[in-house]
Structure 1
Amino acid sequence: MRHLVRNPAFWYVGALAFMWPVQELLAPGPLDQLREWASTNLANLRLPPAGHPVAALVVSAFVTQASPWVWPPLALSTFAAVSALGARRAVALLATVHMGVSLVTEGMVWWRIRHGSLPGSEAHTLDTGPSYLVVAAMTVAVLCARPLWLRGVWLVLLALVAPRLLDGLGEGSFSAIGHLTAFTVALAAVCAHGYRRRRPSPAPATA
Protein backbone atom coordinates (compact mmCIF):
# COMPACT_ATOMS: atom_id res chain seq x y z
CA MET A 1 0.00 0.00 0.00
CA ARG A 2 2.84 2.40 0.82
CA HIS A 3 4.36 1.77 -2.62
CA LEU A 4 0.99 2.52 -4.25
CA VAL A 5 0.53 5.78 -2.36
CA ARG A 6 3.98 6.92 -3.48
CA ASN A 7 3.08 6.35 -7.12
CA PRO A 8 2.01 9.61 -8.86
CA ALA A 9 -0.20 7.56 -11.20
CA PHE A 10 -2.32 6.54 -8.18
CA TRP A 11 -3.03 10.16 -7.31
CA TYR A 12 -3.72 11.20 -10.89
CA VAL A 13 -6.16 8.38 -11.59
CA GLY A 14 -7.76 9.02 -8.20
CA ALA A 15 -8.20 12.71 -9.02
CA LEU A 16 -9.86 11.89 -12.35
CA ALA A 17 -12.11 9.35 -10.64
CA PHE A 18 -13.07 12.00 -8.07
CA MET A 19 -13.85 14.54 -10.79
CA TRP A 20 -16.17 12.08 -12.57
CA PRO A 21 -19.06 12.32 -10.06
CA VAL A 22 -18.27 15.98 -9.38
CA GLN A 23 -18.84 16.84 -13.03
CA GLU A 24 -21.90 14.60 -13.22
CA LEU A 25 -23.47 16.24 -10.15
CA LEU A 26 -22.74 19.87 -11.03
CA ALA A 27 -25.59 21.82 -12.54
CA PRO A 28 -25.08 22.76 -16.22
CA GLY A 29 -24.35 26.41 -15.42
CA PRO A 30 -21.55 25.87 -12.86
CA LEU A 31 -20.15 22.99 -14.92
CA ASP A 32 -19.91 25.18 -18.01
CA GLN A 33 -18.22 27.88 -15.93
CA LEU A 34 -15.68 25.37 -14.59
CA ARG A 35 -14.89 24.09 -18.07
CA GLU A 36 -14.58 27.60 -19.46
CA TRP A 37 -12.23 28.62 -16.62
CA ALA A 38 -10.08 25.47 -17.03
CA SER A 39 -9.98 25.68 -20.82
CA THR A 40 -6.54 26.15 -22.36
CA ASN A 41 -7.78 28.59 -24.97
CA LEU A 42 -6.08 31.83 -25.97
CA ALA A 43 -8.29 33.91 -23.70
CA ASN A 44 -7.23 32.00 -20.60
CA LEU A 45 -3.58 31.69 -21.65
CA ARG A 46 -3.07 35.46 -21.65
CA LEU A 47 -0.84 36.79 -18.91
CA PRO A 48 -2.55 37.94 -15.68
CA PRO A 49 -4.68 39.81 -14.95
CA ALA A 50 -6.32 39.22 -18.34
CA GLY A 51 -5.85 35.44 -18.12
CA HIS A 52 -4.64 32.64 -15.85
CA PRO A 53 -2.32 30.46 -17.95
CA VAL A 54 -0.70 28.35 -15.21
CA ALA A 55 -3.98 27.52 -13.49
CA ALA A 56 -5.67 26.67 -16.78
CA LEU A 57 -2.82 24.41 -17.91
CA VAL A 58 -2.84 22.52 -14.61
CA VAL A 59 -6.57 22.25 -13.94
CA SER A 60 -7.41 21.31 -17.53
CA ALA A 61 -5.68 17.96 -16.96
CA PHE A 62 -8.43 17.08 -14.47
CA VAL A 63 -11.56 18.67 -15.97
CA THR A 64 -12.91 16.76 -18.94
CA GLN A 65 -14.77 18.35 -21.80
CA ALA A 66 -17.18 15.42 -22.11
CA SER A 67 -17.67 11.82 -20.92
CA PRO A 68 -15.80 12.06 -17.59
CA TRP A 69 -16.30 8.32 -16.99
CA VAL A 70 -14.05 7.44 -19.95
CA TRP A 71 -10.83 8.95 -18.65
CA PRO A 72 -10.07 7.22 -15.31
CA PRO A 73 -9.87 3.74 -16.94
CA LEU A 74 -7.73 5.03 -19.81
CA ALA A 75 -5.53 6.94 -17.36
CA LEU A 76 -4.56 3.62 -15.73
CA SER A 77 -1.95 3.62 -18.49
CA THR A 78 -0.04 6.13 -16.36
CA PHE A 79 0.91 3.23 -14.07
CA ALA A 80 2.69 1.58 -17.00
CA ALA A 81 4.43 4.87 -17.80
CA VAL A 82 5.70 5.23 -14.23
CA SER A 83 6.83 1.58 -14.15
CA ALA A 84 8.69 1.90 -17.46
CA LEU A 85 10.25 5.35 -17.10
CA GLY A 86 10.38 5.89 -13.36
CA ALA A 87 8.21 8.36 -11.45
CA ARG A 88 10.21 11.51 -12.20
CA ARG A 89 10.67 10.85 -15.91
CA ALA A 90 7.04 9.80 -16.34
CA VAL A 91 5.69 12.90 -14.59
CA ALA A 92 8.08 15.10 -16.58
CA LEU A 93 7.05 13.50 -19.87
CA LEU A 94 3.30 13.56 -19.27
CA ALA A 95 3.27 17.08 -17.84
CA THR A 96 5.40 18.31 -20.74
CA VAL A 97 3.11 16.66 -23.27
CA HIS A 98 -0.06 18.04 -21.66
CA MET A 99 1.18 21.61 -21.33
CA GLY A 100 3.50 21.69 -24.34
CA VAL A 101 1.02 20.30 -26.84
CA SER A 102 -1.71 22.58 -25.48
CA LEU A 103 0.55 25.58 -26.04
CA VAL A 104 1.54 24.41 -29.52
CA THR A 105 -2.05 23.91 -30.68
CA GLU A 106 -3.16 27.24 -29.23
CA GLY A 107 -0.18 28.84 -30.94
CA MET A 108 -1.55 27.49 -34.20
CA VAL A 109 -4.96 28.98 -33.38
CA TRP A 110 -3.31 32.34 -32.63
CA TRP A 111 -1.42 32.25 -35.94
CA ARG A 112 -4.53 31.52 -37.97
CA ILE A 113 -6.58 34.20 -36.19
CA ARG A 114 -3.76 36.71 -36.76
CA HIS A 115 -3.71 35.90 -40.49
CA GLY A 116 -7.46 35.95 -40.89
CA SER A 117 -8.16 32.27 -41.56
CA LEU A 118 -10.04 31.87 -38.26
CA PRO A 119 -12.48 34.25 -36.57
CA GLY A 120 -11.45 35.94 -33.33
CA SER A 121 -14.11 33.98 -31.46
CA GLU A 122 -11.83 30.90 -31.70
CA ALA A 123 -9.75 32.45 -28.90
CA HIS A 124 -12.59 31.48 -26.54
CA THR A 125 -13.19 27.95 -27.82
CA LEU A 126 -13.62 25.30 -25.13
CA ASP A 127 -10.46 23.18 -24.90
CA THR A 128 -9.97 21.18 -21.73
CA GLY A 129 -9.32 17.59 -20.68
CA PRO A 130 -6.52 15.06 -20.16
CA SER A 131 -6.52 13.54 -23.65
CA TYR A 132 -3.00 14.63 -24.70
CA LEU A 133 -1.56 13.30 -21.44
CA VAL A 134 -3.51 10.05 -21.66
CA VAL A 135 -2.55 9.44 -25.30
CA ALA A 136 1.11 9.81 -24.30
CA ALA A 137 0.67 7.42 -21.36
CA MET A 138 -1.14 4.86 -23.53
CA THR A 139 1.66 5.06 -26.10
CA VAL A 140 4.21 4.27 -23.39
CA ALA A 141 1.98 1.44 -22.14
CA VAL A 142 1.72 -0.08 -25.63
CA LEU A 143 5.51 -0.13 -25.92
CA CYS A 144 6.60 -0.92 -22.37
CA ALA A 145 3.80 -2.37 -20.20
CA ARG A 146 4.47 -5.55 -18.27
CA PRO A 147 3.41 -8.30 -18.32
CA LEU A 148 3.60 -8.37 -22.09
CA TRP A 149 -0.08 -9.19 -22.60
CA LEU A 150 -0.93 -5.76 -21.18
CA ARG A 151 0.72 -4.20 -24.21
CA GLY A 152 -1.89 -5.91 -26.37
CA VAL A 153 -4.69 -4.61 -24.15
CA TRP A 154 -3.43 -1.04 -24.38
CA LEU A 155 -2.88 -1.39 -28.13
CA VAL A 156 -6.51 -2.43 -28.60
CA LEU A 157 -7.75 0.43 -26.41
CA LEU A 158 -5.59 2.95 -28.22
CA ALA A 159 -6.85 1.65 -31.56
CA LEU A 160 -10.45 1.98 -30.34
CA VAL A 161 -10.13 5.60 -29.27
CA ALA A 162 -7.80 6.72 -32.08
CA PRO A 163 -10.54 7.36 -34.70
CA ARG A 164 -12.31 9.73 -32.31
CA LEU A 165 -9.12 11.45 -31.19
CA LEU A 166 -7.81 11.88 -34.75
CA ASP A 167 -11.12 12.94 -36.23
CA GLY A 168 -10.59 15.91 -38.53
CA LEU A 169 -6.84 15.43 -38.92
CA GLY A 170 -7.08 15.77 -42.68
CA GLU A 171 -8.95 19.05 -42.29
CA GLY A 172 -6.35 20.46 -39.90
CA SER A 173 -8.22 19.91 -36.63
CA PHE A 174 -6.05 21.35 -33.87
CA SER A 175 -7.20 18.70 -31.40
CA ALA A 176 -6.33 15.87 -33.81
CA ILE A 177 -2.93 17.43 -34.51
CA GLY A 178 -2.38 17.66 -30.77
CA HIS A 179 -3.17 13.99 -30.24
CA LEU A 180 -0.83 12.96 -33.05
CA THR A 181 1.89 15.18 -31.55
CA ALA A 182 1.37 13.63 -28.10
CA PHE A 183 1.76 10.15 -29.60
CA THR A 184 4.92 11.18 -31.47
CA VAL A 185 6.55 12.82 -28.45
CA ALA A 186 5.84 9.79 -26.24
CA LEU A 187 7.20 7.44 -28.90
CA ALA A 188 10.39 9.51 -29.15
CA ALA A 189 10.73 9.59 -25.36
CA VAL A 190 10.45 5.80 -25.09
CA CYS A 191 13.02 5.32 -27.87
CA ALA A 192 15.41 7.76 -26.17
CA HIS A 193 14.92 6.02 -22.82
CA GLY A 194 15.61 2.64 -24.37
CA TYR A 195 18.73 3.95 -26.09
CA ARG A 196 20.10 5.33 -22.83
CA ARG A 197 19.53 2.01 -21.08
CA ARG A 198 21.25 0.01 -23.83
CA ARG A 199 24.19 2.37 -24.22
CA PRO A 200 27.31 0.72 -22.75
CA SER A 201 28.91 2.36 -19.75
CA PRO A 202 32.29 3.99 -20.44
CA ALA A 203 35.25 1.78 -19.64
CA PRO A 204 37.06 2.71 -16.43
CA ALA A 205 40.22 4.70 -16.90
CA THR A 206 43.46 2.75 -16.59
CA ALA A 207 46.63 4.05 -15.06
Structure 2
Amino acid sequence: MREFPRHVWRYVRSAPGTYVWLAALFVTTIAMHHMSPEFEGEFLRQRSTNIHELSHNPVRVLISSAFWIDGGSWWPYAALYTVFHAQAERWLGTLRWLGVCAAAHVLATLASEGVLLWAIRHGHAPAASVNTLDVGVSYALAGVVAVLTYRIPTPWRLPYLFAVLVVYGTPLINGRTFTDLGHFVSVLVGLACLPLARTAAGQVRPPARP
Protein backbone atom coordinates (compact mmCIF):
# COMPACT_ATOMS: atom_id res chain seq x y z
CA MET A 1 0.00 0.00 0.00
CA ARG A 2 2.94 2.31 0.64
CA GLU A 3 3.99 2.06 -2.99
CA PHE A 4 0.63 3.17 -4.43
CA PRO A 5 1.08 6.95 -4.00
CA ARG A 6 4.57 6.63 -5.47
CA HIS A 7 3.19 4.89 -8.57
CA VAL A 8 0.49 7.51 -8.94
CA TRP A 9 3.02 10.32 -8.66
CA ARG A 10 5.23 8.63 -11.23
CA TYR A 11 2.29 8.36 -13.63
CA VAL A 12 1.37 12.03 -13.13
CA ARG A 13 4.96 13.11 -13.75
CA SER A 14 4.96 11.20 -17.05
CA ALA A 15 2.27 13.57 -18.37
CA PRO A 16 2.91 16.89 -16.62
CA GLY A 17 1.03 19.11 -19.06
CA THR A 18 -2.14 17.04 -18.76
CA TYR A 19 -2.30 17.20 -15.00
CA VAL A 20 -1.26 20.83 -14.69
CA TRP A 21 -4.12 21.67 -17.07
CA LEU A 22 -6.46 19.42 -15.11
CA ALA A 23 -5.43 21.09 -11.85
CA ALA A 24 -6.15 24.50 -13.38
CA LEU A 25 -9.61 23.30 -14.41
CA PHE A 26 -10.19 22.08 -10.86
CA VAL A 27 -9.35 25.52 -9.45
CA THR A 28 -11.51 27.39 -11.97
CA THR A 29 -14.42 25.00 -11.42
CA ILE A 30 -14.29 25.66 -7.68
CA ALA A 31 -14.18 29.39 -8.39
CA MET A 32 -17.30 29.11 -10.56
CA HIS A 33 -19.20 27.37 -7.77
CA HIS A 34 -18.74 30.52 -5.67
CA MET A 35 -20.14 32.86 -8.34
CA SER A 36 -23.72 33.97 -8.61
CA PRO A 37 -25.48 32.79 -11.81
CA GLU A 38 -25.65 36.34 -13.17
CA PHE A 39 -21.98 37.07 -12.49
CA GLU A 40 -20.90 33.66 -13.80
CA GLY A 41 -22.66 34.15 -17.14
CA GLU A 42 -21.06 37.55 -17.75
CA PHE A 43 -17.67 36.37 -16.46
CA LEU A 44 -17.58 33.41 -18.83
CA ARG A 45 -18.90 35.47 -21.74
CA GLN A 46 -15.87 37.78 -21.45
CA ARG A 47 -13.62 34.71 -21.71
CA SER A 48 -15.66 33.11 -24.46
CA THR A 49 -14.50 32.54 -28.01
CA ASN A 50 -17.63 34.10 -29.46
CA ILE A 51 -17.56 36.36 -32.50
CA HIS A 52 -17.57 39.57 -30.46
CA GLU A 53 -14.64 38.60 -28.23
CA LEU A 54 -12.67 37.04 -31.08
CA SER A 55 -12.92 40.28 -33.04
CA HIS A 56 -11.60 42.32 -30.10
CA ASN A 57 -9.36 40.04 -28.01
CA PRO A 58 -8.63 36.93 -30.08
CA VAL A 59 -5.44 35.75 -28.38
CA ARG A 60 -6.72 36.37 -24.86
CA VAL A 61 -9.99 34.50 -25.28
CA LEU A 62 -8.45 31.62 -27.25
CA ILE A 63 -6.18 31.01 -24.27
CA SER A 64 -8.55 31.82 -21.41
CA SER A 65 -11.48 29.85 -22.82
CA ALA A 66 -9.46 26.64 -22.48
CA PHE A 67 -9.35 26.96 -18.68
CA TRP A 68 -13.06 27.12 -17.93
CA ILE A 69 -15.85 24.56 -18.02
CA ASP A 70 -19.36 25.76 -18.70
CA GLY A 71 -21.22 24.04 -15.85
CA GLY A 72 -21.11 20.37 -14.98
CA SER A 73 -18.72 18.47 -12.76
CA TRP A 74 -14.94 18.37 -12.85
CA TRP A 75 -14.63 14.62 -12.24
CA PRO A 76 -15.58 13.39 -15.74
CA TYR A 77 -12.77 15.53 -17.10
CA ALA A 78 -10.31 13.89 -14.69
CA ALA A 79 -11.23 10.53 -16.22
CA LEU A 80 -11.16 11.78 -19.82
CA TYR A 81 -7.82 13.55 -19.36
CA THR A 82 -6.30 10.41 -17.87
CA VAL A 83 -7.65 8.12 -20.59
CA PHE A 84 -6.86 10.33 -23.58
CA HIS A 85 -4.69 13.37 -22.85
CA ALA A 86 -2.21 11.60 -20.58
CA GLN A 87 -1.76 8.76 -23.06
CA ALA A 88 -1.21 11.17 -25.94
CA GLU A 89 1.26 13.30 -23.99
CA ARG A 90 3.30 10.28 -22.90
CA TRP A 91 3.38 9.05 -26.50
CA LEU A 92 3.93 12.32 -28.39
CA GLY A 93 5.85 14.23 -25.75
CA THR A 94 4.56 17.37 -24.08
CA LEU A 95 5.37 19.80 -26.90
CA ARG A 96 3.83 17.71 -29.68
CA TRP A 97 0.79 16.92 -27.54
CA LEU A 98 0.37 20.60 -26.77
CA GLY A 99 0.66 21.38 -30.47
CA VAL A 100 -2.20 18.99 -31.26
CA CYS A 101 -4.33 20.51 -28.48
CA ALA A 102 -3.65 24.07 -29.61
CA ALA A 103 -4.25 23.32 -33.29
CA ALA A 104 -7.55 21.55 -32.61
CA HIS A 105 -8.75 24.22 -30.18
CA VAL A 106 -7.84 27.20 -32.35
CA LEU A 107 -8.76 25.87 -35.80
CA ALA A 108 -12.06 24.34 -34.66
CA THR A 109 -12.99 27.55 -32.87
CA LEU A 110 -12.24 29.71 -35.91
CA ALA A 111 -14.06 27.32 -38.25
CA SER A 112 -17.22 27.04 -36.15
CA GLU A 113 -17.39 30.76 -35.38
CA GLY A 114 -16.68 31.57 -39.01
CA VAL A 115 -19.63 29.46 -40.12
CA LEU A 116 -21.76 31.07 -37.41
CA LEU A 117 -20.80 34.53 -38.70
CA TRP A 118 -21.79 33.47 -42.21
CA ALA A 119 -25.13 32.19 -40.85
CA ILE A 120 -25.78 35.49 -39.06
CA ARG A 121 -25.03 37.55 -42.15
CA HIS A 122 -27.37 35.42 -44.25
CA GLY A 123 -30.20 35.41 -41.75
CA HIS A 124 -29.84 31.79 -40.66
CA ALA A 125 -28.92 32.69 -37.07
CA PRO A 126 -29.95 35.59 -34.80
CA ALA A 127 -27.64 38.59 -34.51
CA ALA A 128 -27.40 38.01 -30.75
CA SER A 129 -25.34 34.90 -31.50
CA VAL A 130 -22.22 37.07 -31.74
CA ASN A 131 -22.22 37.06 -27.92
CA THR A 132 -22.95 33.38 -27.41
CA LEU A 133 -21.15 31.52 -24.63
CA ASP A 134 -18.36 29.31 -25.94
CA VAL A 135 -15.78 28.07 -23.44
CA GLY A 136 -14.41 24.66 -22.65
CA VAL A 137 -11.86 22.03 -23.50
CA SER A 138 -13.82 19.70 -25.74
CA TYR A 139 -12.23 20.79 -29.03
CA ALA A 140 -8.73 19.99 -27.79
CA LEU A 141 -9.99 16.71 -26.37
CA ALA A 142 -11.58 15.72 -29.69
CA GLY A 143 -8.33 16.44 -31.50
CA VAL A 144 -6.36 14.27 -29.09
CA VAL A 145 -8.91 11.46 -29.29
CA ALA A 146 -8.46 11.53 -33.06
CA VAL A 147 -4.66 11.63 -33.12
CA LEU A 148 -4.56 8.59 -30.83
CA THR A 149 -5.86 6.64 -33.83
CA TYR A 150 -2.23 6.35 -34.91
CA ARG A 151 -1.29 4.91 -31.52
CA ILE A 152 -3.79 2.04 -31.76
CA PRO A 153 -2.33 -1.27 -33.04
CA THR A 154 -3.20 -2.12 -36.63
CA PRO A 155 -5.97 -4.70 -36.06
CA TRP A 156 -7.94 -2.25 -33.92
CA ARG A 157 -7.05 1.01 -35.62
CA LEU A 158 -9.90 1.06 -38.15
CA PRO A 159 -12.61 0.12 -35.59
CA TYR A 160 -11.29 2.87 -33.29
CA LEU A 161 -11.32 5.41 -36.12
CA PHE A 162 -14.81 4.33 -37.12
CA ALA A 163 -16.02 4.78 -33.52
CA VAL A 164 -14.46 8.26 -33.34
CA LEU A 165 -16.11 9.32 -36.60
CA VAL A 166 -19.48 7.97 -35.45
CA VAL A 167 -19.30 9.67 -32.04
CA TYR A 168 -18.36 13.06 -33.46
CA GLY A 169 -20.08 12.80 -36.83
CA THR A 170 -23.55 11.66 -35.75
CA PRO A 171 -24.39 14.97 -34.00
CA LEU A 172 -23.76 16.76 -37.30
CA ILE A 173 -26.58 14.73 -38.82
CA ASN A 174 -28.99 14.94 -35.89
CA GLY A 175 -28.32 18.27 -34.21
CA ARG A 176 -26.04 20.25 -36.53
CA THR A 177 -25.04 22.91 -34.01
CA PHE A 178 -21.96 25.05 -34.48
CA THR A 179 -20.34 23.26 -31.54
CA ASP A 180 -20.95 19.91 -33.26
CA LEU A 181 -19.19 21.30 -36.32
CA GLY A 182 -16.29 22.44 -34.14
CA HIS A 183 -15.93 18.97 -32.66
CA PHE A 184 -15.82 17.35 -36.09
CA VAL A 185 -13.27 19.89 -37.33
CA SER A 186 -11.18 19.06 -34.24
CA VAL A 187 -11.25 15.39 -35.20
CA LEU A 188 -10.06 16.25 -38.71
CA VAL A 189 -7.27 18.40 -37.25
CA GLY A 190 -6.22 15.55 -34.99
CA LEU A 191 -6.12 13.14 -37.93
CA ALA A 192 -4.10 15.70 -39.90
CA CYS A 193 -1.42 15.56 -37.19
CA LEU A 194 -0.06 12.30 -38.65
CA PRO A 195 3.41 13.83 -39.16
CA LEU A 196 3.67 14.43 -35.40
CA ALA A 197 2.60 10.86 -34.76
CA ARG A 198 5.21 9.55 -37.20
CA THR A 199 7.90 11.66 -35.56
CA ALA A 200 6.96 10.33 -32.15
CA ALA A 201 6.89 6.74 -33.41
CA GLY A 202 10.29 7.20 -35.07
CA GLN A 203 12.07 8.46 -32.00
CA VAL A 204 14.97 6.25 -30.97
CA ARG A 205 15.61 6.14 -27.26
CA PRO A 206 19.21 5.80 -26.10
CA PRO A 207 20.03 2.41 -24.63
CA ALA A 208 19.65 2.12 -20.88
CA ARG A 209 22.85 2.09 -18.86
CA PRO A 210 23.71 -1.24 -17.32
| Counterpart in the other structure of 2:24 | 15
Pick aligned residue for 2:72 from 67, 70, 73:
67
TM-score for both structures, normalised by structure 1: 0.75
| Counterpart in the other structure of 1:173 | 177
Q: Name the amino acid aligned to 1:58.
A: I
CA distance in 1, matches of 2:170, 2:24: 26
Tell me the alpha carbon deviations over residues 7-37 of structure 1, each in whole angstroms, 9 at most, x when there is no partner: 2112111111222222222221221122111
CA distance in 1, matches of 2:53, 2:201: 43
Tell me the alpha carbon deviations over residues 19-62 of structure 1, each in whole angstroms, 9 at most, x when there is no partner: 22222222212211221111111011113xxxx22111111111
CA distance in 1, matches of 2:173, 2:77: 22
Instruction: Please state whether the residue corresponding to 1:40 is helix, strand or coil.
Output: coil
TM-superposed CA distance for 1:194, in Å, is 4.4
2:143 touches 2:190 (CA, 8 Å); kept in 1? Answer: yes
Within 5 Å, give how 1:108-187 maps onto structure 2: 108-141=115-148, 143-144=150-151, 162=167, 167=171, 169-187=173-191
TM-score for both structures, normalised by structure 2: 0.74
Q: Between the two proteins, what is the percent identity of the paired residues?
A: 24
Within 5 Å, give how 1:47-58 maps onto structure 2: 47=56, 52-58=57-63
1:169 touches 1:176 (CA, 8 Å); kept in 2? Answer: no
| Counterpart in the other structure of 1:188 | 192
1:80 touches 1:140 (CA, 8 Å); kept in 2? Answer: no
- More helix per residue: 2
Pick aligned residue for 2:112 from 105, 113, 132:
105
CA distance in 1, matches of 2:105, 2:170: 16
| Structure 2: gaps spanning 5 or more residues | 1-8, 203-210
1:97 touches 1:185 (CA, 8 Å); kept in 2? Answer: yes
Q: Name the amino acid aligned to 1:31.
A: E
2:45 touches 2:133 (CA, 8 Å); kept in 1? Answer: yes
TM-superposed CA distance for 1:174, in Å, is 1.0
Distance of aligned partners of 1:25 and 1:166 in 2 relative to their CA distance in 1, 3 Å threshold? farther
1:45 touches 1:56 (CA, 8 Å); kept in 2? Answer: yes
1:169 touches 1:177 (CA, 8 Å); kept in 2? Answer: no
TM-superposed CA distance for 1:182, in Å, is 1.1
Q: Name the amino acid aligned to 2:17.
A: P
Instruction: Please state whether the residue corresponding to 1:60 is helix, strand or coil.
Output: helix
**Alpha-carbon RMSD:** 3.0
Within 5 Å, give how 1:62-101 maps onto structure 2: 62-69=67-74, 70-76=76-82, 77-101=84-108
Q: Name the amino acid aligned to 1:14.
A: A
TM-superposed CA distance for 1:5, in Å, is 8.2
My pick for the range that moved more, 93-102 or 133-142, is 133-142
Count of residue pairs brought into register by the alignment: 184
Distance of aligned partners of 1:58 and 1:103 in 2 relative to their CA distance in 1, 3 Å threshold? same
| Structure 1: gaps spanning 5 or more residues | 200-207
Please tell me whether residue 25 in structure 1 is matched to residue 34 in structure 2.
yes
